[in-house]
Amino acid sequence: MQTVKKMTMTQKILAAHAGLDEVHAGQLIQAKLDLTLGNDITAPVAINEFEAAGFDKIFDKNKVVFVMDHFTPNKDIKSATQCKQCRTFAKRFNLSNFFDVGTMGIEHALLPEQGLVAPGEAIIGADSHTCTYGAVNAFSTGVGSTDLGAAMAVGYTWFKVPAAIKVNVTGRKKEFVSGKDLILYLIGKIGVDGALYKSLEFAGDGLKELSMADRLTIANMAIEAGAKNGIFPVDDITREYLKDRVKRSWTAYDPDGDAEYESVVELNLDEIDCTVSWPHLPENAKPATEGKDIKIDQIVIGSCTNGRIEDLKAAAEILKGRHLADGVRGIIIPATQSVYKEAMKLGYIEIFLDSGCIVSTPTCGPCLGGHMGVLAKGERCVSTTNRNFVGRMGHTESEVYLASPAVAAASGIAGHIAHPKEVL
- 245 plus 367 within the same structural domain: no
Q: Helix 77-92 vs helix 43-52: angle between axes, to the nearest 10 degrees?
A: 50
Identify the domain boundary among 160, 195, 224.
Answer: 160
The domain spanning residue 393 has which CATH number? 3.30.499.10
pLDDT exceeds cutoff 80 at 332: yes
The identity of residue 132, as a single letter, is: T
pTM confidence score = 0.95
Q: Which residues pair with 264 in a beta bridge?
A: 166
In angstroms, the CA 31 to CA 191 distance is: 30
Do residues 335 and 364 touch, judged by C-beta distance below 8 A?
no
Q: Are residues 407 and 292 in the same domain?
A: yes
φ, ψ for residue 291, nearest 5 deg:
-100, 15
195 with 87, same domain: the answer is no
| Pick from 289, 274, 309: nearest CA to 184 | 274
Residue-wise pLDDT tens digits, 340-381:
999 999 999 999 999 999 999 999 999 888 899 999 999 999
Mean pLDDT computed over every residue of the chain = 96
How many independent structural domains does the chain possess? 3
- Is residue 384 within 8 A of residue 303, CB to CB? The reply is yes
* Beta strands 275-277; 285-287: pairing state: antiparallel
Residue 211's domain is classified under what CATH number?
3.40.1060.10
Of 160, 176, 204, which closes a domain?
160
Could you tell me if 298 and 399 lie in one domain? Answer: yes
Over the range 141-163, which residues count as b (16 or more CB within 10 Å of their CB) and which as e? Answer: bbbebbbbbbbbbebbbebebbb
Domain that holds residue 310: 277-423
Stretch 140-168: mean pLDDT, rounded? 97
100 and 201 belong to one structural domain: no
Same domain, 314 and 385: yes
Task: Check: CB of residue 237 under 8 Å from CB of residue 113.
Answer: no
**Rounded CA separation 410/319 (Å):** 7
Q: Is residue 4 in a domain?
A: no
Residue 2 reports pLDDT greater than 70: no
Q: Are residues 245 and 288 in the same domain?
A: no
pLDDT confidence band for 3 (50 / 70 / 90): low
Residue 2 lies in a domain: no
* The pLDDT value given to residue 252: 97
Overall average pLDDT of the 117-143 stretch: 97
189-205 pLDDT per residue, tens: 999 999 999 999 999 99
Same domain as 75, residue 50: yes
24 and 146, same structural domain?
yes
Condensed to tens digits (0 to 9), the pLDDT of residues 235-267 reads 999 999 999 999 999 999 999 999 999 999 999
Average pLDDT over residues 6-34: 97
Distance CA(73)–CA(83), nearest Å, equals 10
Task: Please give the share of the chain, as a percent, with pLDDT higher than 90.
Answer: 96
Instruction: Answer whether the bond into residue 70 is a cis peptide, omega within 30°.
Output: no
SS3 56: coil
Residues 15 and 156 in one domain: yes
Q: What is the pLDDT of residues 41-66, one digit of tens each?
A: 999 999 999 999 999 999 999 999 99
In terms of domains, do 320 and 257 share one? Answer: no
pLDDT score at 1: 38
- 328 located within any domain: yes
Task: Please report whether residue 401 resides in a domain.
Answer: yes
Q: Is the pLDDT of residue 4 over 80?
A: no
Q: Of 248, 271, 294, at which residue does a domain stop? A: 271
